[in-house]
């Protein structure tokens, strides 16, 4: 996460390598996107400068430098809350660098000063992004089930209860006692996950809830009641 935005030739820039790293993209994918952008419009070429870097195997590989406009254009299609926050942090870093460039008194003169400034900015961004990622993860885990997940869970519950009472053709079902089993399932489910109602379940427990539903059976007393009811035969007189 170091060197999010660097100063090169007194310009605030970032690289295709850093964009690929931070946005979890393959570098080849980022290179292809840049080349497509520059091929479509000659004005875009001014936003990017092709260069090279040496990979871990000691091989020289292509990369691009880009200014703030190039970065904004390149990442415009990257979606998601985390991606949006990364864009905002990059733009803030670009603005900070540009401000220093415009103010000659504050402009770092030596490579050591430039590196120190970059590290300060990078460390601040890393801390802020850590908080953002933790907040996004917490929101995702503690939010309630989606409509699709609720539907899947309700369908699984219905299937399991019907299975437990012996099917829709069983005596127990025909005697309209299925509600008793649904209620028993509901009590066990809410007790297991310590919730007052089904729609209070958090997303992080969805898989466990599905597993619980698939493995659930009525208690011994209710099972005997179901078995006795289904064992009865009706005589036609």
**Measured distance CA(226)–CA(229) in Å, rounded:** 5
pLDDT at 1 over 60: no
Nearest to 171 by CA among 236, 237, 235, 232: 232
Average pLDDT over residues 17-32: 88
> What pTM does this model have?
0.43
Average pLDDT over residues 122-128: 61
Question: Domain limits of the chain?
Answer: 6-142, 147-230
pLDDT in tens, 199-237: 788 888 889 999 999 999 999 999 999 999 888 865 444
SS3 63: strand
pLDDT in tens, 155-185: 999 999 999 999 989 989 888 888 999 999 9
Please report the DSSP string for 37-50 in residue order. HHHH-GGGGGGEEE
């Amino acid at each position: 996460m170091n060197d999010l935005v660097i100063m090169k030739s007194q310009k605030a820039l970032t690289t295709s390598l850093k964009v690929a790293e931070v946005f979890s993209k393959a570098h080849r994918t980022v290179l292809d996107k840049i080349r497509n952008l520059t091929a479509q419009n000659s004005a875009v070429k001014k936003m990017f400068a092709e260069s090279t870097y040496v990979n871990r195997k000691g091989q020289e590989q292509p990369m691009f430098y880009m200014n703030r406009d190039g970065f904004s254009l390149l990442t415009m299609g990257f979606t998601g809350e985390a991606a949006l926050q990364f864009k905002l942090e990059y733009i803030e870093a670009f603005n900070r660098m540009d401000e220093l460039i415009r103010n000659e008194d504050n402009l770092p003169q030596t490579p050591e000063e430039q590196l120190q400034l970059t590290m300060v900015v990078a460390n601040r961004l890393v801390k802020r992004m850590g908080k953002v990622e933790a907040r996004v993860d917490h929101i995702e885990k503690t939010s309630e089930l989606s409509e699709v997940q609720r539907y899947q869970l309700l369908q699984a519950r219905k299937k399991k209860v019907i299975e437990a009472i012996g099917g829709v053709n069983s005596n127990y079902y025909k005697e309209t006692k299925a509600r008793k089993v649904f209620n028993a399932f509901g009590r066990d489910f809410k007790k297991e996950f310590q919730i007052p109602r089904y729609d209070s379940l958090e997303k992080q427990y969805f898989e466990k809830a599905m597993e619980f539903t698939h493995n659930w059976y009525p208690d011994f007393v209710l099972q005997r009641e179901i078995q006795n009811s289904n064992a009865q035969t009706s005589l036609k007189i």
